[in-house]
Amino acid sequence: MKAHTPLFCLALLAAGPALAQNVESGPQASFEAQTGPVTVVSVQPPLPNASQYAVKVADLDANGDGRLDRTEVPDDHALHFEWKLVDRNRDGYVTDEELANWK
C-alpha cells in the first residue's frame, strides 16, 4: 500500500487546480496579496434560518413596549437559542441596539 501513496499524492496535487475551478460560486472576498490578487470563495451553504438574524424588535414585540423579553420570541427562533449572547447588559430584555450587534 505504501508504494501507491506517492502516486496518490501526485494525482491529488495535479487535480487540485481543476477541482478548485469547479467549486460552486458562493459569497466571495477579494484582496491584493504580495504575490498578486487573491479571491476566496465560500462553499459553505447558507444558513437555512439566515433571515432570523436580521430580525428587529418590532417584528416580534407582542406587547409593544419597544423591547423583547424571552416570552415574545418563538421557541424555534435563532434568538431564543442565543438569548444570553444577544442580551449584552443581562437585563432580561433585548433592544434594537443589542440586535444590531448580533450577527
CA-based radius of gyration for the chain: 23
Distance, in Å, from the CA atom of 14 to the CA atom of 8, rounded to the nearest integer, reads: 10
Residue 38 reports pLDDT greater than 70: yes
Residue 4 lies in a domain: no
What's the pTM value of the predicted model, to 2 decimals?
0.55
Residue 9 lies in a domain: no
Q: How many domains does the chain have?
A: 1
Residue 63 lies in a domain: yes
Residue 33 lies in a domain: no
| 81 or 29, greater pLDDT | 81
Residue 85 lies in a domain: yes
Q: Which domain covers residue 81, as residue numbers? A: 50-100
| 49 or 100, greater pLDDT | 100
Residue 22 lies in a domain: no
Residue 58 lies in a domain: yes
Residue 54 reports pLDDT greater than 90: no
Residue 5 lies in a domain: no
